[in-house]
Amino acid sequence: MPESRVHFEPLCRFITAAMERLGLPPADAAVVGALMAQAELQGSDGHGVIRLLPYARRIRAGGINLHPEIKVVQERPAMAVLDGDNGMGHLVMQRAAEMAVEKARTCGIGWVGARFSNHAGPASLYARMPMAHDMIGLYFAVGNANHLPPWGGLDMLLSTNPIAVAVPAGAEPPVVLDMATTVAAYGKVKAKAQRGEAMPIGWMIDRLGQPLTDPKRAEEGFLMPIGGYKGYGLSLIVGLLAGTLNGAAMGRDVIDFNHDDVTTTNTGQAVMAIDLSAFGDVADFKARVDRLVRDLRASERMPGVERIWLPGQQSHERRAANERDGIPLPAALLGQLQDFARETGLAPLETIATMKETT
Amino acid sequence: MPESRVHFEPLCRFITAAMERLGLPPADAAVVGALMAQAELQGSDGHGVIRLLPYARRIRAGGINLHPEIKVVQERPAMAVLDGDNGMGHLVMQRAAEMAVEKARTCGIGWVGARFSNHAGPASLYARMPMAHDMIGLYFAVGNANHLPPWGGLDMLLSTNPIAVAVPAGAEPPVVLDMATTVAAYGKVKAKAQRGEAMPIGWMIDRLGQPLTDPKRAEEGFLMPIGGYKGYGLSLIVGLLAGTLNGAAMGRDVIDFNHDDVTTTNTGQAVMAIDLSAFGDVADFKARVDRLVRDLRASERMPGVERIWLPGQQSHERRAANERDGIPLPAALLGQLQDFARETGLAPLETIATMKETT
């Protein structure tokens, strides 16, 4: 199957146009388009343009407010809570990150949570935003479908609730952790099923607590939290900080947005910014991060290990490659996007001419 | 072997007296005594009075400043950095928690980090402190010995860097997560070795990446981070936030305080407080936590699982039992403490009369 690639700018324009066609005001469509294309650029393909059709379905079903009045409902000098008014999560979280940065500039740290938000793409997008201001960024979110029970239980009351933290470095790429609190994200299970492959032991367990490795039986089991009961605790804590604290959905109130396009999700998320200059000399901090990164990377390796990776380094390299070569899109996804364009009267997504095979 | 138990108050007095004898000013000795006894009370026995003799060894070797000038070296409205001046970590962290609470009262959130601190006991002690003020507490620390390499590596550059988060509930016990970023803490490995038991697969790996289950061979391997590369990333991020950000030791600069009583550890830690009243109605928040806790606890259970636990619930029950029945101390540890008392001219630790066996 020939590989299809798209450049960032045309992808961004395409998503923006699609969002406008779906009814978002142009400025809002541009924000969502840019953030979804950035997700693709950094290789977060599970949270990028693959979400366009599910978003469209939800928007058409009336499950998203196209003209939200995003407003501050609680505020202190270093924190705020936003009510996203059921708008697109990207709009709510971009606003939250901007406010967290402003607050950190005066207070040293800033924390902005949200309720009545929606799915906003990869966690690292928002954790990365404060870095442009020489700040560390943190992001917490309640996932939009419950995939794990409490440890030892069978009722799926918890989601993959991700954490992302982005720490600026100097000459080195930033350290960017973006992790679900489960061993595998649910998207990886779906991918294994599509390819007809077995899952490794440790990804899922069945209702008897036994390893589940057949991805076609995924509905019979649960995702495993990282570190067993520790990941269960971490998922719960992230949900309390990003959901309960903001008056957003958590536990049994979480809507499975894969199977429900209408009910307001009341998604909860939070962004924190930590201003490096409040803690001391910024250049000195970055130099210490560089030294630490280099020490880790230069570690003696286990047999068979070619390279020590730092968190965020793979997506850093992917971003550079995708900027240069274009963003790879699976043919099936590209087909769906072009069908969507045709149906809605949009110009088709402009792909890069397929290279001739060299012989 | 007969079980020995001590009540909280006599234990607190004993540790306080010991700390005074070692040269701490009375007020500081009382703080350390109370916090170490609280650690025992909540069942954090790896971080309680078992540390008295190692602390004494370090103090006598000159590795701790008995008269530290703990001072604020960086400050903004919502944050501060303390220089602990190489004092006992308990003093530095209690001060950090107090300041974080004060800052959260005005700014909504407060973050206080420290450098030149020392080991301060269990992470949850400090995460719990803001709860008395209707605040969520978070605590991050750089461990005092490196036990894991970067993922795929062999050089031990990272510690078990713990995270603790304490969330107030209403009628239910608070949700308190206190976890190392490794599957097992190193103390658990030592305990397995003492009992001559094998470790479960997943606790440690050897230098070839193979499971290591013989705890006597622990020096040949490494602790496993939770979730593999995810726990590696989490340990690194906690180290950056608690260590590097504060100008404290991280990576190759971390001193192994098990094998070095003299070198200043420059331990880094941070406490964060989140004021619930800044986010909305406190009683309403607590009621929502109660409901979530009850939903989780009432989950249908896997076969063989007797009870669903919430993070912090076991230590909550342990605290109640220990307050009622006294704190159990292993005979060997009690013997060491009584030897220490004799050598230093202290009154012996007052134990509870051993119950007569009922027939």
CATH number at residue B190: 3.30.60.50
A 170-189 → B contacts, CB under 8 A: 175, 177, 179, 183
* Domain-located, residue A319: no
Yes or no: say if A116 and A84 are a contact pair by the CB < 8 Å rule: yes
On whether both A197 and A216 belong to a single domain, the answer is: yes
* Domain-located, residue A317: no
Yes or no: say if B303 and A209 are a contact pair by the CB < 8 Å rule: yes
On whether both B158 and B261 belong to a single domain, the answer is: yes
With beta carbons under 8 A apart, name residues in chain B contacting A296.
150, 153, 157-158, 236, 251
Residue-wise pLDDT tens digits, A253-284 = 999 998 999 999 999 999 999 999 999 999 99
Quick check: B316 contacting A, CB < 8 Å?
Answer: no
* Domain-located, residue A318: no
On whether both B309 and B349 belong to a single domain, the answer is: no
Question: Environment class of residue B324 by beta-carbon count within 10 Å: exposed (0-12), middle (13-18) or buried (19+)?
Answer: exposed
ipTM score assigned to the predicted complex: 0.96
Contact B251 A167 (CB under 8 A): no
With beta carbons under 8 A apart, name residues in chain B contacting A274.
79, 111, 241, 245
On whether both A204 and A308 belong to a single domain, the answer is: no
Contact B231 A229 (CB under 8 A): no
**CA-nearest residue of chain B to A224?**
B227
**CA-based radius of gyration for chain B:** 21
Q: Which of B177, B276, B314 to mutate to test the interface with A (most CBs of A within 10 A)?
A: B177
On whether both A113 and A163 belong to a single domain, the answer is: yes
On whether both B157 and B189 belong to a single domain, the answer is: no
Yes or no: say if A169 and A175 are a contact pair by the CB < 8 Å rule: yes
On whether both B142 and B270 belong to a single domain, the answer is: yes
On whether both A137 and A176 belong to a single domain, the answer is: yes
> Domain of B132: which CATH number?
3.30.1370.60
* Domain-located, residue A320: no
What confidence score (pLDDT) does residue B187 get? 75
CB atoms within 10 A of CB A328: 17
Yes or no: say if A157 and A146 are a contact pair by the CB < 8 Å rule: yes
**CA-nearest residue of chain B to A225?**
B227
* Domain-located, residue A105: yes
**CA-nearest residue of chain B to A277?**
B74
Q: What is the C-alpha to C-alpha distance for residues B333 and A162, in angstroms, rounded to an integer?
A: 42
With a CB cutoff of 8 Å and minimum separation 6, the contacts of B163 are B123, B138, B139, B140, B177, B178, B179, B181, B234, B238
What confidence score (pLDDT) does residue A195 get? 85
* Domain-located, residue A263: yes
Quick check: B227 contacting A, CB < 8 Å?
Answer: yes
On whether both B140 and B2 belong to a single domain, the answer is: no
Yes or no: say if B151 and A309 are a contact pair by the CB < 8 Å rule: yes
Question: How close is the nearest chain A Cα to the Cα of B168, in Å?
Answer: 11
Length of chain B: 359
Yes or no: say if A238 and A246 are a contact pair by the CB < 8 Å rule: no
Residue-wise pLDDT tens digits, B115-170 = 999 999 999 999 999 999 999 999 999 999 999 999 999 999 999 999 999 999 99
Categorize the per-residue pLDDT at A357 as very low, low, confident or very high, splitting at 50, 70 and 90: very low
Quick check: B107 contacting A, CB < 8 Å?
Answer: yes
pTM: 0.96
Q: What are the backbone angles phi and psi of residue B118, rounded to the nearest 5°?
A: -145, 175
Question: How far, in Å, are A190, A199, A224, A257, B294 from residue A217 at the CA level?
Answer: 11, 11, 15, 21, 29
> Domain of A11: which CATH number?
1.10.1530.10
Q: Which of B198, B224, B250 is where one domain is finished?
A: B224
Torsion-angle region of residue B209: left (phi > 0), alpha (psi -120 to 50) or beta?
left
On whether both B234 and B310 belong to a single domain, the answer is: yes
Quick check: A238 contacting B, CB < 8 Å?
Answer: no
Whether residue B356 is predicted with pLDDT greater than 80 in this model: the reply is: no
**Domain range for residue A34?**
1-60+326-359
Q: What is the C-alpha to C-alpha distance for residues B140 and B181, in angstroms, rounded to an integer?
A: 11
Categorize the per-residue pLDDT at A189 as very low, low, confident or very high, splitting at 50, 70 and 90: confident
On whether both B244 and B120 belong to a single domain, the answer is: yes
Question: How close is the nearest chain A Cα to the Cα of B15, in Å?
Answer: 32
Question: Environment class of residue B9 by beta-carbon count within 10 Å: exposed (0-12), middle (13-18) or buried (19+)?
Answer: exposed
**Residue % of chain B over a pLDDT of 90:** 90
Number of structural domains (chain B) is: 3
Q: Nearest CA to A317 among A195, A192, A189, A174?
A: A174
What confidence score (pLDDT) does residue A191 get? 80
* Domain-located, residue A8: yes
Question: How close is the nearest chain A Cα to the Cα of B114, in Å?
Answer: 10
Comparing CB atoms, the residue among A179, A244, A309 nearest residue B288 is: A244
CB atoms within 10 A of CB A114: 31
* Domain-located, residue A212: yes
Q: Which of A171, A203, A224 is where one domain is finished?
A: A224
On whether both B141 and B82 belong to a single domain, the answer is: yes
Q: What is the C-alpha to C-alpha distance for residues B58 and B307, in angstroms, rounded to an integer?
A: 42
What confidence score (pLDDT) does residue A2 get? 56
Q: What are the backbone angles phi and psi of residue A71, rounded to the nearest 5°?
A: -135, 155
Yes or no: say if A108 and B111 are a contact pair by the CB < 8 Å rule: yes
Can you tell me the mean pLDDT for B255-278?
96
Contact B279 A106 (CB under 8 A): no
B 110-139 → A contacts, CB under 8 A: 110-111, 113, 136
- What number of C-beta contacts closer than 8 Å exist between A and B? 254
